[in-house]
Amino acid sequence: MSSPAKRLHHLDAARALLLLLGLPFHVATKAIFESTPPAVDFQQSLLIGGLASLTHVFRMFAFFMLAGYFAGMIRERKGTKAWLAERTRRLGLPFAASLLTLGALQFHLQDLLLHKSSPMFLGLPLALDHLWFLVVLLGFCVTYAAVPMQRLRPGSGVQRAMLLEGPGALILLASLALWGLLRYALEQVPPIPNAPSETLLWQQYVFHAAGFALGVLAWHGQLGERIFALRSRWIIPGIVVLLVPYVPLDPLIRPALCKEIYPNLAGTLTLRALELPLAYLMSLALFRLLAWAVRGPSKVVTFFVDGALAIYLFHLVWAMIVLPQARALPLPAEAQWLVSAAAVLLLAVLSYLAVRTTNLTSILFCGAPLKQAASAAAPVSPARS
């Protein structure tokens, strides 16, 4: 067991920020890809496409990397059985409650308000939508629990590579590129018949395993304070070099560049190879930025850390309701998008405040009863350095 170390407050902020960045992203994708007719003005906006593209590159990778790091921390602190039982409760109950309520509502709102049908989940009129991350995260926890902890300490070469030191860093980035190409290979596997949502689950599990695994290794390698506040002269140049070919290939921004939404085969392979190395570098840059900006506890950060899960669970229902109203406003597409995102955030926060008023709804949508909500959502983040 390592000795206690200082709390990394910026990791609390990162966990909340990464989920909250999903709100404007999903407002954009609902308008562009999941509405009939699609919001052509949203598609052709460099601001909307550019911000959606940039945040989408790293958002879920960084989220799962943090999830892996905290998984290692809490598993070591509580023991595998107690940790896995807690994860099952805090992920499984919100997933089941959200799927049966919000998922059912989203399934009908998708057709009623956005005029495009939603795929069923498990053969039922339920929309999986953004809830996939809870299933994938729980799957990672079960997989991780099956591996003895003593086998997970990375060697010095792997640790140096993760810190972008020496030639091993290039090997790590190349390995991430190959893992991205694996995603393309998986996309060519025939989908589960009449089950696009179920197909998405196992594809996302494989693709995002890289981020979760790096987070686990960061904990067991005692890299916490270093990797989540990494000073490396290679991060920004690496991001720039990878972004130059990535941006014109990303379907989120291609229409704004007067290109077809999806690139050709060579472009798709290049895109898949660039995604994970770029996500890793951008995640490190974000963590470093937050380490500089967040030096201590904050009531605002604590509020959003406690409420991030519930806010994220509720936001897509509100996005479906708000988006048609915002698109009818006599405003430019960028203003409609910003108004929609702000309204969705406000309504999702109000939903969080509503569900945390009783123990039952707090357990079902926040993952913890009222008396634990403030502390359970933000575990101590020791540096392990």
List pLDDT tens digits, range 60-72.
999 999 999 999 9
* Residue found under tokens 């409650």: 97
pTM, two decimal places = 0.93
- For residue 322, count other CB atoms closer than 10 A to its CB: 22
Angle at which helix 265-293 crosses helix 168-187, to 10 degrees, equals 130
Amino acid at 283: S
CA 348 to CA 355: how far, in whole Å?
A: 11
Closest among 357, 347, 266, 269 to 313, alpha carbons compared: 347
- For residue 149, name the pLDDT band (cuts at 50, 70, 90): confident
Short-list 385, 300, 327, 382, CA closest to 7: 382
Tell me what the mean pLDDT of segment 187-195 comes to: 90
Q: What are phi and psi of 301, to 5 degrees?
A: -60, -45
> What pLDDT score was predicted for residue 6?
58
**Which residue in 144, 125, 135 sits closest to 94, CA to CA?**
135
Nearest-angstrom CA–CA distance, 373 and 362: 8
Examine the pLDDT at 372 and tell me if it is beyond 70.
no
Whether residue 378 is predicted with pLDDT greater than 50 in this model: the reply is no
Cβ-based neighbours of 234, under 8 Å, separated by 6 or more = 164, 169
* Alpha-carbon dihedral sign for residues 11, 15, 16, 21: positive
pLDDT digits (tens, 9 = 90+) for 267-282: 999 999 999 999 999 9
Sequence-ordered list of residues with C-beta below 8 angstroms from that of 171, at least 6 positions apart, any chain: 161
The predicted structure's pLDDT at residue 301: 86
Q: Percent of the chain, pLDDT > 70?
A: 94
In tens, the pLDDT along 339-361 reads: 999 999 999 999 999 999 999 99
Which tens digit of pLDDT belongs to each residue from 87-119? 999 999 999 999 999 999 999 999 999 999 999
User: Does residue 143 carry a pLDDT above 50?
Assistant: yes
Q: What is the average per-residue pLDDT within 171-190?
A: 94
Calpha distance 263→123 (Å, rounded): 32
* pLDDT tier at 377, thresholds 50, 70, 90: very low
pLDDT exceeds 70 at position 382: no
Q: Rounded CA gap, 161 and 314, in Å? A: 39
Residue 7's SS3 state is: strand
- Which residues have a Cβ under 8 Å from the Cβ of 170 and sit 6 or more positions away? none
Do the Cβ atoms of 127 and 107 come closer than 8 Å?
Answer: yes
